[in-house]
Structure 1
Amino acid sequence: MSDTVLDRFLRYVVIDTQSDPASDAQPSTEKQKDLGRLLTAELLELGLSDAHLDEHGNVYATIPGNTSKDVPVICFCSHMDTAPDFTGTNVRPQILRNYQGGDIALPGDSGQVIRVEAHPQLKSQIGNDIVTTDGTTLLGADDKAGIAEIMTTAAHLLANPDIPHGTIKILFTTDEEIGRGADKVNLEKLGARFAYTLDGSTVGEIENETFSADGVTIDISGVAMHPGYAKGKMENAIKIASDIVARLPRDIAPETTDGRAGFIHPVDLSGSMESAHLQLIIRDFDDAGLVEKEALLKAIAEDVLLGYPGSTMTFTVKQQYRNMKQVLDRHPEIMDNLAEAVRRVGLEPVLHSIRGGTDGSRLSFMGLPCPNIFTGGHAYHSPLEWVSVQDMEKAAETIVALVQVWEERAA
């Protein structure tokens, strides 16, 4: 198979793999298995005889090592689902060859324009080939760019057995976009010591840190009463929940923070006069920051309830994921080898922190330390999503260099 990374990418993005947070199944949508079946077939065609799709939609495969050295088994991982934020049905990729600068108008929707002012990374793409949507769907570079890069690397290593490397595991997951990507991964079957997700963005960026994340649910029981005779009696649960939201600090919100600042973010509010349900997410790079924000939120809610003496609430905190840096710092060779690989392909590695989470967060705390590597994609989860072909090629080159570094530094 002599397909390029672009050939593969274009083949994968037209397969609708959007995940569904309202579904309790895994995968949350059966259509994710459509891509999984294709990838399994391609891996088998490459000669990876153990490639298979499990009942949860995860794809596993092994590239056997070809060195006598004792090299740790490394896994490369990407997710097959696309985000539920914007439609991924009927994706029509557009290729802008030899980009010469300027804004990019998308042909399917005149209101959708990728503007250089909002996407300054375009300034470094002069002469490159840019893949976009037609403006009516997302593209799916998150994370089908990563999949294409891993598949291209697998084909390259198998076609070039003179490149020494240890045993390499391939893992493609489902439902990462809804926070369940690692839920059904069988680490014993996978058999890797360390892993890398291909799920980043700007070329050269490597990521060893994510937010720590909790979810908070506040359930409110108010006092229902006929509105015609409610004076001094009714305590409207919707108003109580709204009061809590109204009192949230404006400077601790996603829309007012960046860098290493965390936030409190309401994501759902529903209810009636009698009862209301409020869901929030809490994010911070430090676990102590999570605790502080949760204490602040609880204090706000309790203060609001003082004005409604007949009403009650429950305040429930659920851990979602933790900053993977806590695990990765115990294995510095993982990032050291990655930084060296990035340098070998002619880039300067840029250490970056993710204001979010990846499969790597969960996998790291499940016992598989797993930082993140750039894919070249930008403007994820939106119709303005785009990726550079040359940056995808550079990501694939980085994987090849990385497995060589691990082999060279092994005993």
Structure 2
Amino acid sequence: MSMPFIFTVADRFLRYVTIDTQSDPNSPTCPSTEKQKNLGRLLVQELKEIGIADAELDDHGYVYATIPSNTDKDVPVLCFCSHMDTSPDCSGENVKPIVHSNYQGEDLVLPDDNSQVLRQKDHPDLKNQIGNDIITASGTTLLGADNKAGLAEIMDAAYQLVNHPEIKHGKIRILFTPDEEIGRGVDKVDITKLGAEVGYTMDGESAGHFENETFSADGARLTINGISAHPGFAKGNMQSAIKIAGKIIATLPFELSPEGTEGIEGFVHPVGVSGHAEQAVIDFIIRDFEDDKLKEHADVIRQIADNVISDFAGATYRLDIKEQYRNMKKVLDQYPNITDYGLEAIQRSGLTPLLKSIRGGTDGSRLSFMGLPCPNIFAGEHAFHGKQEWVSVQDMQKAVEVIINLVQVWEEYS
């Protein structure tokens, strides 16, 4: 059912993307960058203007707020969650959003760098956007639709619910997190204070998509100890850790790489290399939908390291594995109604629901294992982490409708 809302989602989104909230994986603080709080403060101010009195930003950069229940029914407390930070992979400074109104299938050339062109062959979902209004950045930065589209959608839904008391719903908690892009989005979340029973992140891609499965993820660090010697007298003595590292990376199988896999296939991916002749370090991420396969993928690194290092007398290595997050489907399968209600809410908004797996993780992955089962709903964001990132206004409006439908579904079935 579509309601005659006067949406505020696009205006909010255009405001939020101009605030630089890039997170920093090399910073030990929480949030990793203080500038994320600039957006947090604005969100709190806007929540209070909507009439949500308890909105607050805590010291760690988390925003919490409550929309009180307006029904006599005993409805589980729902949480809607999005993250405020943007990816470290591409600049988020001085984002200049551009609205391409009434898109008719043409190539979209971004004005600040004419080599950045959005074409339908590269962005297949543009085919579904004829007549819609597409928002991009100007060509030199990312847009920040990941995940400021989600923020704007939750904010607009909150605005609509407060202004339409005839829409019945239970208690709703809003959670905006920092540092999701660097894997630390729920490190300091106060689950007890949040007090929700069911969560939904708004951080997915195409309209209609609903995701109840993520990768399971480990990090791996391979430390190679070579033998250093003066390069002028190195013959027969030096065993360069850098060259050993290079050989190991070159031997990784293509069919176990991100660029060689898709669908439900996992991968091993070197994400950082540092070192000198005596010691070199390769950092990997290991991903798969099945936990057991993570160990198999780590064994591939181990076998390659064994083989390569056997040619370098006296050199050694150590492989350390660290758990990052696990596939949330394990938790969500225990509560099928959480997924069923989500799919129904999408259907009620006039879209065809599509249940998908994420080749990645969300805050919901870890929240699910912290006692808050939390699948992921589309936010309309596309081509994230790059200069061709885009979102359509109409998809964001549909996501607002889905949130509003979802709170009603939970109230009706309680």
Q: Same fold per TM (> 0.5)?
A: yes
SS of 1:338 mapped into structure 2: helix
Query: Which residue number in structure 2 is paired with residue 57 of structure 1?
Result: 61
Residue 87 (str. 1) matches residue 70 (str. 2): no
Give me the whole-angstrom Cα distance separating, in 2, the residues matched to 1:229 and 1:181. Answer: 50
Query: Which residue number in structure 2 is paired with residue 281 of structure 1?
Result: 285
Query: Which residue number in structure 2 is paired with residue 397 of structure 1?
Result: 401
Residue 105 (str. 1) matches residue 109 (str. 2): yes
Query: Which residue number in structure 2 is paired with residue 141 of structure 1?
Result: 145
Query: Which residue number in structure 2 is paired with residue 201 of structure 1?
Result: 205
Give me the whole-angstrom Cα distance separating, in 2, the residues matched to 1:398 and 1:129. Answer: 19
Q: For residue 309 of structure 1, report the CA deviation from its aligned partner.
A: 2.6
Which residue of 249, 252, 257 corresponds with 1:245? 249
SS of 2:254 mapped into structure 1: coil
What is the TM-score with the length of structure 2 in the denominator? 0.98
| Partner AA of 1:131 in structure 2 | I
Query: Which residue number in structure 1 is paired with residue 71 of structure 2?
Result: 67
SS of 1:368 mapped into structure 2: coil
Which residue of 288, 291, 295 corresponds with 2:295? 291
Q: For residue 231 of structure 1, report the CA deviation from its aligned partner.
A: 2.0
For residues 23-62 of structure 1, what are the alpha-carbon distances to aligned partners after superposition, in whole Å with 9 as ceiling and x for unaligned?
1111011000000000001111112111100000000000
| Partner AA of 1:360 in structure 2 | G
Q: For residue 227 of structure 1, report the CA deviation from its aligned partner.
A: 2.1
Confirm or deny: 8 A CA contact 2:7 2:397 kept in the other structure: no
Q: For residue 229 of structure 1, report the CA deviation from its aligned partner.
A: 2.2
- Runs of 5+ in structure 2 lacking a partner? 1-5
Residue 130 (str. 1) matches residue 130 (str. 2): no
Give me the whole-angstrom Cα distance separating, in 1, the residues matched to 2:362 and 2:7. Answer: 28
SS of 1:377 mapped into structure 2: coil
For residues 200-235 of structure 1, what are the alpha-carbon distances to aligned partners after superposition, in whole Å with 9 as ceiling and x for unaligned?
010000000111111110111111112222222211
Give me the whole-angstrom Cα distance separating, in 2, the residues matched to 1:9 and 1:250. Answer: 39
SS of 1:188 mapped into structure 2: helix
Give the aligned CA root-mean-square deviation in angstroms: 1.1
Correspondence list, 1:7-406, <5 A? 7-406=11-410
Q: For residue 3 of structure 1, report the CA deviation from its aligned partner.
A: 6.4
| Partner AA of 2:254 in structure 1 | R
Give me the whole-angstrom Cα distance separating, in 1, the residues matched to 2:179 and 2:99. Answer: 28
Give me the whole-angstrom Cα distance separating, in 2, the residues matched to 1:95 and 1:231. Answer: 63
Give me the whole-angstrom Cα distance separating, in 2, the residues matched to 1:357 and 1:154. Answer: 26
Residue 409 (str. 1) matches residue 384 (str. 2): no
Confirm or deny: 8 A CA contact 2:346 2:353 kept in the other structure: yes
Q: For residue 101 of structure 1, report the CA deviation from its aligned partner.
A: 1.1
Give me the whole-angstrom Cα distance separating, in 1, the residues matched to 2:323 and 2:316. Answer: 23
Confirm or deny: 8 A CA contact 2:199 2:373 kept in the other structure: yes
Q: For residue 320 of structure 1, report the CA deviation from its aligned partner.
A: 0.7
Amino-acid identity (%): 61
SS of 2:204 mapped into structure 1: coil
SS of 1:98 mapped into structure 2: coil
